[in-house]
Structure 1
Amino acid sequence: MENTKLQLLPCEQKHLPVLMTWVKTESQCQQWGGPFFRYPFDARSFAEDCSWRELPSFVVQDSGGELLAFGQYYARLDRCHLSRLIVAPAARGRGIGKGLIKQLALRGCCDLKLDQCSLFVLKENLAAQVLYEKLGFQQMEYPEPFDGLELCYYMAAAAKEMLEMEV
């Protein structure tokens, strides 16, 4: 799928019910939302825990308006930190994750005036690790204590090189 057909748009309340259907198990919830995301969730707890109103939160839609992906960013350790990245289960394997990450990185770095990106990935999420490495992310030591760090890798990439990469 070509990224030119994908649109990165601000997340709205109407997107949350669809997004909720993509997270079907407790392990998927932890993988996507982190160790403090409540499961099972309801509409209220999901909206609260994903912090979609507090953090810059975006969805990817195709030209027909179908919701394909979600992601967020914020400043963390002088990097544009990408978080809660997810692609609709039916849309995986079509390059949407790559498009989501590149578009979020571009928007986030411009918005936050930063030139590097970072993210956390669970050690068991090999598919995501492969994608992030293809985009130039490298594992790094996280410089401060963090609950749940033993379950994941901290990865960072220079935004300019990532945005120029062809995957």
Structure 2
Amino acid sequence: MQITLRTPEKADYEAIASWVTDEKACSRWAGPSVPFPFAATDLPELLAVEEGSSYCLSNSDNRCVGFGQFWAGKQGAVHIGRIIISPEERGKGTGRLLCEKLMAKARQSAGASTVTLRVYRDNTAAHSLYSSLGFSVIKSESTDDLLFMSAMANEVAREITSKL
């Protein structure tokens, strides 16, 4: 199956909106700035991040199966976030593919030496994925609910390359 990372289109936002089924899921995915319920047509504006980029992971039928963003982080890092996978694709490695492609694109676009992200402490599947991609928890930046994770971009690239 051919998987590509591309700029989201109108139909992609319709799909993404269908994956977010309640207020808690919305808040955990998009943060407090995105209200629930929301209109799919409003997502491009609601998800806009200064100096940020949004991407869809699409399958061979050009159907969006995942979404994520990156933006400038602290001290020259690039931060990835708002990662979501189609419910039908969860548990199939699609999240790993999205993260790998998103990190490579972020590194290429931003030229950053460090990639950061946040993950809910109780999201053990995501925490395990990020750890396997070379991310480590930074306790001083973490909260009771969220783990702040960081990886050197070149270490992440080596992890990704070694698995190809």
Deviates more, 1:155-164 or 1:77-86: 155-164
Q: CA deviation at 1:54?
A: 6.5
Deviation digits for residues 85-110 of structure 1, max 9, x if unmatched? 01101001111111111111111111
> 1:68, CA displacement in angstroms?
0.7
- When the two structures are superposed, what TM-score results if normalisation uses the length of structure 1? 0.86
* Residues matched between the structures, number: 159
SS of the equivalent of 2:109 reads helix
Corresponding residue number in structure 1 for 2:37: 40
Q: Partner of 2:157 in structure 1?
A: 163
2:48 maps to what in 1? 51
Q: Distance in 1 between matches of 2:94 and 2:22?
A: 22
RMSD after superposition: 2.1
1:22-101 equivalences under 5 Å are 22-51=19-48, 55-77=52-74, 78-101=76-99
| Separation (CA, whole Å) in 1 of partners of 2:41 and 2:20 | 15
Gap runs ≥5 in structure 1: 144-148
Aligned counterparts of 2:51 and 2:18: Cα–Cα separation in 1: 22
Instruction: Establish whether residue 113 from structure 1 lines up as the match of residue 111 from structure 2.
Output: yes
Partner residue of 1:136 out of 110, 120, 134? 134
| AA partner of residue 16 (structure 1) | Y
Q: Relative contact order (C-alpha < 8 Å, sep 6+): which is higher? A: 1
- 1:127-155 deviations in whole A, cap 9, x for unaligned? 11111111111111229xxxxx4421110
d(CA) in 1 for partners of 2:49, 2:87: 20
Look up the match of 2:11.
Answer: 14
Contact 1:38/1:46, CA 8 A, preserved across alignment: no
CA distance in 1, matches of 2:58, 2:122: 28
Runs of 5+ consecutive residues of structure 2 not aligned to the other structure: none
Q: Which segment is superposed worse, 156-165 or 83-92?
A: 156-165
TM-score by length of 2: 0.87
